[in-house]
Structure 1
């Protein structure tokens, strides 16, 4: 499979879909919002963008199935699948907050082979493919070289559906605040991970995530030289709902903080 060629084609496609999404952003009417569940919103923009993506991605890799947030297409077992979030940061989009992205990954049965996160407001296209490195608008990017968490900037997301482990999570947030330059909450896990890959954040952690939130970000961080694990330090980070992505110099320290509160205090 020619991953470099796939990257070129998907970049062109994301730019086309960006034109549609940004055309709908200004003047978006919140009356068009639907609720899939508590605080889980969707609009015609998400649905239309996903259909546009799936149609063209089907042509780029015809043998691949789909794991898409709004349910377009079907997953293929034991084969290639596109993992698609047409608008990561829907809540930001609905409220007029200019941080949201298209997230696209191509994965075989075990590993992500290609990933793209296109932050639409700044028109920053982050992409990577296995063995080919990571790029921001076609320029190579690398994770931060920082080795001290106390000098790092950390990103996270806040629970909006599952609040069962809020006490533990609040302890982690407090600990991270005290031992870093601060926390940031962008409202898009895909953007958070892209920023880790670009060296803007030293690390990112969150739980209750979906594969379309993080799959593309995983290969961005890995190909940029970073470490990606679940909260146990293992590899179940795409479908396991827990994510820690960080520069190598701070990953162990962040994992130690998370594990102390997440597991030891249960």
Structure 2
């Protein structure tokens, strides 16, 4: 029995369940990929499709059946089922909805388990590329069954980063454009892939050297933050304070360029 109140076998059982759930929801996504969709607007440009809803519905029903006493937090309609439990599942049923709706194969399902305010397990799955990422607290980070680690890039100017922009960028002064400009002139390149979860997984796997974004939600950061830690990277807020996944800002890197990124991002009128 560990400090969280369960043993390693329990953690493995939760992980096995999460991976099976991710693959089942991946089948829902794959079946309708590059087909016409019913699109509902949550804002001026922020959308949800019938596949987001179907994936979440499947996941939530499966969780209720398997763990009736666990709490669940999920993206669509702000689903928040509170059971007063120390166990809380945090679900993103389709991260990268805009990509999905446009037929761009960069999206995923993600699940994370929070126990007493700490993320202890999670996974992410892109059914098109069949990329499966998973991590457990103290157990390492994995990509398609192989343990992964963050990159070894030490020279900031040679780093490849990723970021994103808020859906309400037209009206939100906290729009990330200044950061993008200030960082992009100092690095090799910046990618805007459209999936925060995969940005974090790619950073953990060493494909990217770092990632930052603001105006995120807990389901965007929960699993990915654990993946970064277990891959040997560093994950904080913009000013290198401990990450709070409910505080909407994240800075993740291989740890070797973290100070350089934070130096730019922490100078912020809205911090």
Equivalent of 1:212 in 212, 215, 219:
219
TM-score normalised according to structure 2 size: 0.90
Matched residue, 1:11: 19
User: 1:9 offset after TM fit, Å?
Assistant: 2.0
Question: Is 1:58 paired with 2:64?
Answer: yes
Matches within 5 A, 1:28-39: 28-29=36-37, 32-39=38-45
What 5-or-longer segments of structure 2 have no aligned partner?
1-5
Aligned partner of residue 214 in structure 1, secondary structure: helix
User: 1:73 offset after TM fit, Å?
Assistant: 5.5
CA distance in 1, matches of 2:249, 2:23: 30
Aligned partner of residue 159 in structure 1, secondary structure: coil
Using the TM superposition, name which of 125-134 and 70-79 deviates more: 70-79
Equivalent of 2:140 in 133, 138, 155:
133
Equivalent of 2:174 in 134, 140, 165:
165
Tell me if the contact between 2:71 and 2:85 (Cα under 8 Å) persists in the aligned partners. Answer: no
Equivalent of 1:24 in 14, 17, 32:
32
Matches within 5 A, 1:106-145: 106-145=113-152
What 5-or-longer segments of structure 1 have no aligned partner?
none
Query: How many positions carry a matched residue from both structures?
Result: 260
Equivalent of 2:53 in 24, 38, 47:
47
CA distance in 1, matches of 2:174, 2:132: 34
Aligned partner of residue 252 in structure 1, secondary structure: helix
CA distance in 2, matches of 1:143, 1:113: 19
CA distance in 2, matches of 1:24, 1:156: 27
Using the TM superposition, name which of 144-153 and 213-222 deviates more: 144-153
Cα 1:247–1:60, aligned 2, differ >3 Å: closer, same or farther? farther
Cα RMSD, aligned residues only: 1.7
Matched residue, 1:235: 242
Aligned partner of residue 158 in structure 1, secondary structure: coil
CA distance in 2, matches of 1:218, 1:63: 25
Higher helix share: 1
CA distance in 2, matches of 1:177, 1:230: 19
Aligned partner of residue 255 in structure 1, secondary structure: helix
Tell me if the contact between 1:117 and 1:126 (Cα under 8 Å) persists in the aligned partners. Answer: yes
Using the TM superposition, name which of 38-47 and 69-78 deviates more: 69-78
Aligned partner of residue 256 in structure 1, secondary structure: helix
TM-score normalised according to structure 1 size: 0.92
User: 1:257 offset after TM fit, Å?
Assistant: 1.2
